[in-house]
Homo-oligomer: A and B are copies of this chain.
């Protein structure tokens, strides 16, 4: 990349691709001041050549539907993959690296599922495969883990990584509306997709968490081993009760290191209302991590959107364009990272929130508390309320630290009691 122009080949011209082009147009003289080179989007691969576009690249930008026009053009320095999906970008990136081109991608699903093979190929070719935009939009968490905190062992990392889910939870908490109502509003505002499954079932956050674990620990933690629970069953009633106990309910992505064994998952969990992540509302993302040298560090910003995500894509392009040094893709030298040492989910320890809806009769509290005691779950707080969504009486327990296998066993026992009306509700407390 010694030319005074860096030629980009772009696959996909949706939200992020359009954002990238807008930023390059608006800030090109600024970028040139930093880089000494001009960025030029030479070729854009799209599915439909005739579709109307809300950005207009420079007049000499070529549109194509053929991957070959990106791969086989010797003038193109960097391939920017913003198409989404799995198989197409997997093929594109594999071929791009194979033909000696560095790659920038925002594709969290691809990197979560096929990261190891792609990073191995990039290492073999000594090429860059950069992905700042794949996690938390414009927040520079990839660079921070890969470089700024590289000398730290990360003890724990907790993130609000899905803006859609966070917006829904914030609205339910502030407006007192139920899940379905708020989801509809989020869809109307464009915060949630027509099919919101990836966002509300925690899958998108899980993809991002796999990427962050790789960066923080240098280990591959397979998606299939993650605990993943979404927010689609969250009831407004628990949000209110949690607030009364001084907590906020949030969809969190978390990894913790327990003596070299990792446990990671995505789940709605209670946070103390004075916890720094409890204040991250609406479509914002945030990551709090704990390094063994740096201590707690928190990053906060917009996790999605054309310009914030485009800003992250641009950071990667600049890093690749700036110098001809050895790329740093994963932060580690191994071409294939080891598999994570995983602590079995049933052995993980949390504090817990339980809500049981029961028939109001003598002995009920004693029966439930008895089962808790039997399974070594020590109770910190109990509240019994006089009203409930559906006739029964709610009892809420906040426990001290307890192992998940005991929690599961206790819930299995308690839900079989004839006085328990609804399936028990359970959340971890962070």
> Contact residues of A with B, CB < 8 Å?
19, 23-24, 26-27, 30-31, 33-36, 132, 137-140, 143-144, 147-153, 218, 276, 279, 291-302, 305, 307-308, 310-312, 314-315, 318-319, 322-326, 328, 331-334
Contacts and interface: CB of A to CB of B under 8 A. Distances in A.
Contacts of A143: 140, 143-144, 147-148
Contacts of A323: 325-326, 328
Given A139-B297, A302-B294, A150 B318 contact: yes
B325 A300 contact: no
B33 A311 contact: no
A152 B31 CA distance: 8
A254 B300 CA distance: 19
B279 A293 contact: no
Given A140-B143, A143-B144, A293-B311, 12 more contacts: A27-B292, A31-B150, A144-B148, A148-B315, A149-B311, A276-B279, A294-B301, A295-B301, A295-B305, A296-B300, A299-B299, A323-B328
Nearest to A306: B293
A109 to B, nearest CB: 23
17 contacts: A27-B153, A27-B292, A27-B293, A132-B148, A138-B149, A140-B297, A144-B144, A144-B148, A149-B315, A151-B315, A291-B311, A295-B302, A295-B305, A296-B300, A296-B302, A297-B300, A299-B300
A328 B322 contact: yes
A34 B279 contact: no
A295 B279 contact: no
B132 A315 contact: no
A112 to B, nearest CB: 22
Chain B CB count within 10 A is highest, among A147, A296, A318, for A147
Contacts of A324: 325
A297 B149 contact: no
A239 to B, nearest CB: 20
A334 B326 CA distance: 24
Contact of A301 (B31, B132, B296, B315): B296
A331 B322 CA distance: 10
A297 B324 CA distance: 29
Sort A-B residue pairs by CB-CB distance and give the 7 closest, nearest first. Answer: A325-B325, A140-B148, A138-B294, A151-B314, A293-B311, A323-B325, A297-B301
Nearest to A325: B325
Given A34-B150, A332-B34, A333-B34, A301 B298 contact: yes
Contacts of A325: 323-326
Contacts of A30: 151, 153
